[in-house]
Amino acid sequence: MSSSLPPTTEGTPPGAGAGASTPAFSPLYQQIKGLILHSLQHGEWKPGEAIPSEMELAARFRVSQGTVRKAIDELAAENLVMRRQGKGTFVATHAERQVQYRFLKLLPDTGDARVEGPAQRTILECRRMRASAEIARTLALRTGDVVVQVKRILSFVGVPTILEDIWLPGQAFKGLTAEQMAHYQGPTYAMFELDFGVRMVRAEEKIRAVFPDETQAQWLNIPVATPLLSVERLAYTYNDVPMELRRGLYRTDTHHYHNELS
Partner DNA sequence: GAGTGGTCTAGACCACGCG
Partner DNA sequence: GCGTGGTCTAGACCACTCA
- Contacting residues toward DNA, per CB under 7 A: 7, 9, 23, 25, 27-30, 50-51, 53-56, 63-67, 69-70, 83-89
Q: Which is nearer to DNA, 64 or 171 (CB)?
A: 64
Q: How far apart are CA 110 and CA 254, in angstroms?
A: 8
Residue 127 or 258: the one with the smaller Cβ distance to a second copy is 258
Least Å distance, CB 77 to a second copy, is 8
Burial of 113 (0-12, 13-18, 19+ CB in 10 A): middle
Residue 207 binds which entry of a second copy, DNA, none, CB below 5-8 Å type-dependent: a second copy
Q: Tell whether residue 116 is a contact of a second copy (CB under 8 A).
A: no
Site map for a second copy, 58-97, x if CB under 8 A? Answer: -------------------xxx------------------
- Reduced to 3 states, what is the DSSP secondary structure of residue 120? strand
Nearer to DNA, 95 or 123 (CB): 95
Q: Which is nearer to DNA, 12 or 218 (CB)?
A: 12
Q: Residue 33 or residue 233: which is nearer to a second copy going by CB? A: 233
Q: Do 33 and 71 form a contact (C-beta atoms < 8 A)? A: yes
Give me the phi and psi of 214, to 5 degrees please.
-65, -45
Instruction: State which residue, 1 or 77, has the beta carbon closest to a second copy.
Output: 77
Biggest distance spanned by C-alpha atoms of the chain: 66
Residue 120: what residue type?
A: Q
219 is an interface residue for a second copy by CB under 8 A:
no
Q: Residues 45, 171, 123, 132: what is their CA dihedral angle, to the nearest 10 degrees?
A: 140
Q: How many CB atoms lie within 10 A of CB 169?
A: 22
Pairwise CA distance, residues 59 & 78, whole Å: 24
Cα separation values, 158 from 70, 106, 109, 118, 220, Å? 46, 16, 16, 11, 11
Task: Tell me which stretch binds a second copy (CB under 8 A): 112-120, 164-172, 179-187, 228-236.
Answer: 228-236
CB of 46 to DNA, least distance (A): 16
Residue 240's binding partner among a second copy, DNA, none (Cβ under 5 to 8 angstroms by kind) is none
Q: Closest distance between a second copy and the C-beta of residue 138, in Å? A: 14
Q: Cα dist. 171→73, 77, 141, 225, 226 in Å?
A: 33, 31, 10, 39, 37
Q: How far is the CB of 248 from a second copy (least distance, A)?
A: 12
Which residues form the interface with a second copy (CB under 8 A)? 77-79, 102-103, 105, 201-211, 225, 227-229, 233, 250, 252, 256-262
